[in-house]
Amino acid sequence: MGDSSGSRPSAFQLLFDARLNRAGAFTSEEREAFGLEGLLPDAVETHHLQLQRARAQFDAQPTDLGRYQFMSALHDRQERLFFALIRSDFQRFMPIVYTPTVGEACQRFGHIMRRPKGMYISVRHRGRIARVLRNWPVRDIRFIVVTDGERILGLGDLGVCGMPIPIGKLALYTACAGVPPEAALPVVLDMGTNNESFLEDPLYPGLRQPRIAASEAVSFVDEFVDAVQEVFPSCCIQFEDFTNRHAIPMLARYRNRVCMFNDDIQGTAAVGVAGLFGACRIARSSMREQRLLFLGAGNAAVGIADLFVRHLESIGVPQRDALARCHFMNSRGLVHAGMGGLPDYLHRYAHPIAVPVPPSVQGNEHSPVTRLLDAVEIIRPTALIGVSAMPNTFDEAVIRSMARIHSRPIIFPLSNPTSKSECTAEEAIRFSDGRAVVATGSPFPPMHFQGKLFVPGQGNNVYIYPAIGMAVFATQARRVTDEMFLRAAESLAAQTTDQDLSVGLIFPPIASILDTSIRIAIDVASLVFDAGLARVDRPEDIEAFVRRQVYDPDF
């Protein structure tokens, strides 16, 4: 047993380094050899006994935020037990470690933070970011999840209080797909915040200044990306919870220069397209027949649409026809041809609409269709996808309209946390008389309706980004491509069984997410080798090669 430098650890390190600490599970021989005798109670405990104690302590917490704080402290204290606990019951622990509880943890972060985790790169570090990154004690970092905290979930600008997002994402890299935790580094880029309540809060732990200008932000992120290449040359960067005005341009700016991806765009796209594959199986229809209406026109919506179009093109649908199957509602109404003020990434989805456009709105930023119900009646979509963070917008009238137009309407309220969901799973099922195919961004419980069991699928990116991460880790891929996300979507959808579909579940159960993720990682790794993007030699057995690298928290 030794630390990362290969030297013999001290008793203090063994008990207070979360990566080494096994607490009461140290054997009698280890206690004698490492000077631990007397520093622990006499009983030598099994891993299972420690899990039992941890579950009891978890259950004793009175609130979900308290349970989040318990899990965070366990992560600080005993890393292997933390990951083993999550894996022992994904359905029980994932909603605490990540969505929906992580949203409240971000909002309260300045008040509940304990031990620092990850790195906080401030605009005050400009000109020396590489030097600051070298303060991290691990040299071979393979993954950084980074946010600037400006668009945390559907909660807005939380500044450095967005740190629980990178922490939670990377925890699920390990728990759900086996990426070794020592290879991961959560990062917040502190560019200030425009959240007045935080700036007035004496416990806010970040820079007390308004956000820097957009032009300054670009150069700051440029320096950060370049510094990562210098300090951690094998690292893949996952961008998380940047606003639309930054996220889409940054993906275009960096994707062909460095190993990176944007989970809000590409991860959401893959899980959304995988959900459509599953919905088509339930509805006995094809992807060619789908017509999508998105409520929301930002990163997530455009990401799903772009990957859907890429899939249609791969099966022979002309691009023009594929694009015409995607429609968007933004804050100004139904996006249409001739609508002014559209960002570049929406122009290709601005189509003519089947209603007269009054002269007063021609060429300006308004739309003649501002109600979602009217848009549904005009577009007659097969699938209604919510990525707006606007709760209760899929109301009874909208869902009943979808159910009147199609026998098996596809309803995906994907916004999270739960408080931002466009509707609940129960509402989608009840208002459609049990005919809707439903996937939600946040978890909702199974329900019975008209004597039939419905198990809502959670269209959560956790099905995708940890698996992509494991594939990149194993192959040391030089780039992350859209083809990798499409392969991940196909692999995820293929693992949904007919039994799953019979209860409306269009994704494999969360309980089996470790096996699901490893299977996706194997399929994506094969694509990486086929595309010549790997920095390691192709093994004879790719499946065995990937599985050998999966982190095991047992001891």
Catalytic positions are 98, 169
Phi and psi at residue 402, in whole multiples of 5°? Answer: -60, -40
In our burial notation (b when 16+ CB lie closer than 10 A, e otherwise), range 15-46 reads bebbebbbeebbeeeebeebebeeebeeeebe
211-219, Cβ contacts within 8 angstroms, sequence gap of 24 or more: 211/150, 211/157, 212/123, 214/245, 214/246, 216/123, 216/191, 217/148, 217/191, 217/246
How, if at all, do strands 326-330 and 333-334 pair? Answer: antiparallel
Give one DSSP letter per residue of 384-414, joined into a string. EEE-S--TT-S-HHHHHHHHHH-SS-EEEE-
How, if at all, do strands 333-334 and 447-449 pair? Answer: unpaired
Query: Residue 121: which of 258, 213, 199, 226 has the closest Cα?
Result: 226
CA distances from residue 181 to 68, 75, 96, 173, 466 in whole angstroms, order as listed = 19, 11, 19, 8, 12
**Which pair of tokens denotes residue 104?**
């409240």
How, if at all, do strands 447-449 and 452-454 pair? Answer: antiparallel
**Which pair of tokens denotes residue 522?**
């194997």
Distance CA 16, CA 512 (A): 32
